[in-house]
Chains A and B, each alone.
Chain A
Amino acid sequence: MTELTLVQAVNRGLQQAMRDDPDVLVLGEDVGVNGGVFRATEGLLKEFGEDRVLDTPLSETGIVGTAVGMALYGLKPVAEIQFLDFIYPAFDQIVSELAKFRYRSGGQYPCHVVIRTPYGGGIKGGLYHSQSTEAYFAHTAGLKVVIPSTPADAKGLLLTAIHDEDPVMFLEPKRIYRSVTGEVPEGDHRVPFGKARLVREGTDVSVFAYGAMVPVVTDAVEAVAKEGISAEVIDLRTLVPLDEAAILASVEKTGRAVVVHEAARFCGFGAELSAILAEKAFYSLKAPIARVTGYDTPFPYALENLYLPNVERVARALRTTVRSG
């Protein structure tokens, strides 16, 4: 075990995969000499050389299209998109190509690419360095969507992603790249997909979150614990595949649910979680499901702290939910 930040854990995950498997390579903007704008790929060029760490021209569709071709050939490319906000030139490659290759070929052409990209607000990034658009990808058949919230999970989920057989969108919560540290296992540490993490047990209400919202939720739950509210916190880890069993089991126990994400509310991932609970846990619910989310506005620069769910907003939702039924 080593104490690492989340971004260091990503780096160690990449290094581990590249040491273990010569087919793994990294490509993206500024990932080589510069080690990535967040330093996630630091040291990789030196250790693995230009053949396996490709500083690419500035074109997201070029990065992903090239990675798709490499994967069709049998390599395991890990593409970095510098910010999730810049991924849209590659949207066609991701949604029309990467996600559909296996299906559209009747299984002849699996296409396993991992796309790593920092997402989310809280770094004074304004409209174009802050968004959380995981729902676009979760909505697309054929993509797995992974969002770690701890250093150990960042490494473990990334290694699972790289050795998976399907395309993976690996969204990294850049706001907590360095603010969260934790013990990270050495070696080929893998965390399975589709298994939510029970962060904290509770009996009165279940809170579902992922990525950078997990520490916010944890703080809020600690605050309301002093008021006698016992909240259970579940970190989803992977939106696709979703650990529906864990979600339903928790709500069947607590009877109440609060969903937290920093993405906009309308058609956000919380809407799917709420629908699942309404369909499958209706008779366990004692209170309406509450969502604490970003707003349905573009992501604002100066007022970003008012856009993002904070401890007090989550705490209010917990109190309201527990007291309403």
Chain B
Amino acid sequence: MSATQAPPALPTAVSPGVAGMTPEDLVRAYRVMLLSRATDDRCLSLQRQGRIGFYVPASGQEAAQVGAASALAPEDWVFPAYRELGVALYRGVGLERLIDQFIGNAGDLLKGRQMPNHYGYRDHRIVVASSPIGTQITQAVGAALAARRRKDSLATITFFGDGATSSNDFHAGLNFAGVYRAPTIFVCQNNQWAISLPREKQTRSRTLAEKAEAYGFPGVVVDGTDVEAVHAAVADARSRAVRGEGPTLIEAQVYRFGPHSTSDDPRRYRTDAEVEHWKASDPVLRLRTRLTSLGALDEARDAALVEEARAAVAKAVSAAEATGPVDPTTFFDDVFAAPTPQLLAERDEFDQLLKDGAVKP
């Protein structure tokens, strides 16, 4: 597609010539989506019980995340927002490792430093998330340019929401990517709501994807509840990227079934009827139907997979809750490669307070 073409009308067709997902691929995707959904269900309840401090659910967006992740190569770098549980699970991040992070315990590779969901794992080439909106977009472009400079044949992919398309870094990142033809895939999970702001109040643009045209590269809209459609769009974008044809913006249209986070009540700003309308396109149910029609799934097998996911979450939560608290002596580590004299003095003061029992972890 040339940069000057208008974005396709909704919904886009799967591009011809891009390898689709086999039934085995779809089963793998389904299992990850079930695990993601089960993790959400359990973590929302853990948060209400005060067992984790906060949670950002991904329910409704599983197909967009898993479809995208399934189109990547292991060497590709992921720059997430903070809602990409499906990507982390698909890339093989262990559930217990994630729950450790949600709790912030001694097993948390991030040493308890971040709110739940703000994780990142170098082993899986998932860059650590932050809360400011859109900042990962420019970073993904920089990493892509660095990969090209090193002659590494890979793409970077960054995820963000509809709200992020109003951010400074969205504009800067897409503009830089266009200018330098960066091998970057921009995936906007348009879940229709930026906390309480509906999509139509975020921008007057007809689609979010069409913004790509202003930056000189293709933008496509996909049905983000269809795992195969997302996979095809990302696979297409990835092959363009590694062929040196530059970036792509993909708008995956999804719906966030739950709250933005456990800190808001979506009934304040949207109707139950709207939620019900979108639940007809529940990505998990859609894939279940598809697998059944392919003969790759029957009721008994499905029930077993659902139970497998539930049990895996239960096991990970038990293990994570049995893990001890984060070690307070790591408090001053990793500010710099080596602590400054000022930090060493603060650490001594802190150690004394701990020793005296004046502060308790």
Contacts and interface: CB of A to CB of B under 8 A. Distances in A.
B152 to A, nearest CB: 9
A141 interface: yes
Contacts of A137: none
Nearest to B147: A73
A71 B77 CA distance: 13
Interface string B139-173: 11111111101100000100000000000110111
A240 B143 CA distance: 27
A105 B340 CA distance: 19
Nearest to B149: A51
Contacts of B110: 104-106, 108
Contacts of A75: 146, 149-150
B139 A109 contact: no
Interface in A72-126: 72-75, 77, 89, 92-93, 96-97, 100-110
A70 interface: yes
B109 interface: yes
Interface string B310-354: 000000000000000000000001111100111000000000000
A89 B134 CA distance: 13
B93 interface: no
Contacts of B143: 69-70, 72-73
Nearest to A89: B168
B139 A65 contact: yes
A194 B343 CA distance: 13
- Which has the most chain A C-beta neighbours within 10 Å: B77, B132, B146, B180? B146
B291 interface: no
Interface string A38-72: 00000000000001101011010110111111111
A87 B277 CA distance: 46
Interface stretch (A153-161, A241-249, A260-268, A300-308): A241-249
Contacts of A25: 149
- Which has the most chain A C-beta neighbours within 10 Å: B108, B111, B168, B341? B168
Given A106-B113, A241-B341, A61 B168 contact: yes
B247 interface: no
Contact of B145 (A64, A66, A100, A194): A66
A166 interface: yes
Contact of B139 (A56, A72, A110): A72
Contacts of A101: 128
Given A65-B137, A65-B138, A69-B140, A57 B130 contact: no
- Which has the most chain B C-beta neighbours within 10 Å: A25, A75, A104, A109? A104
Nearest to A244: B341
Contact of B109 (A71, A96, A108): A108
A65 B128 contact: no
A234 to B, nearest CB: 16
A165 interface: yes
A75 B122 CA distance: 16
B182 to A, nearest CB: 9
Given A57-B175, A68-B138, A242-B342, A108 B336 contact: no
Given A75-B149, A92-B135, A242-B340, A65 B169 contact: yes
A102 B138 contact: no
B342 A241 contact: yes
A57 B145 CA distance: 15
A123 to B, nearest CB: 28
B360 to A, nearest CB: 22
B257 interface: no
A102 B135 contact: no
Nearest to B120: A105
B176 interface: yes
Contacts of B288: none
B121 interface: yes
B132 A96 contact: yes
A289 to B, nearest CB: 19
A142 interface: yes
A85 B258 CA distance: 42
Interface string B65-92: 0000000000001010000000000000
A106 B114 CA distance: 9
A141 B336 CA distance: 9
A65 B334 contact: no
Given A59-B175, A105-B120, A241-B342, A69 B334 contact: no
Pairs A-B, 3 closest by C-beta atoms: A69-B142, A65-B138, A62-B172
25 contacts: A51-B149, A52-B149, A57-B176, A59-B171, A62-B173, A62-B175, A65-B135, A65-B141, A66-B142, A66-B145, A69-B139, A69-B143, A70-B146, A72-B139, A72-B142, A101-B128, A105-B110, A107-B111, A107-B334, A108-B109, A108-B121, A109-B120, A144-B336, A240-B342, A242-B340
Given A65-B137, A92-B168, A97-B130, 8 more contacts: A25-B149, A66-B176, A70-B149, A72-B146, A92-B132, A92-B135, A106-B109, A144-B336
Interface of B: 77, 79, 108-111, 113-114, 118, 120-122, 127-128, 130-132, 135, 137-147, 149-150, 156, 168-169, 171-173, 175-176, 179-180, 333-337, 340-342
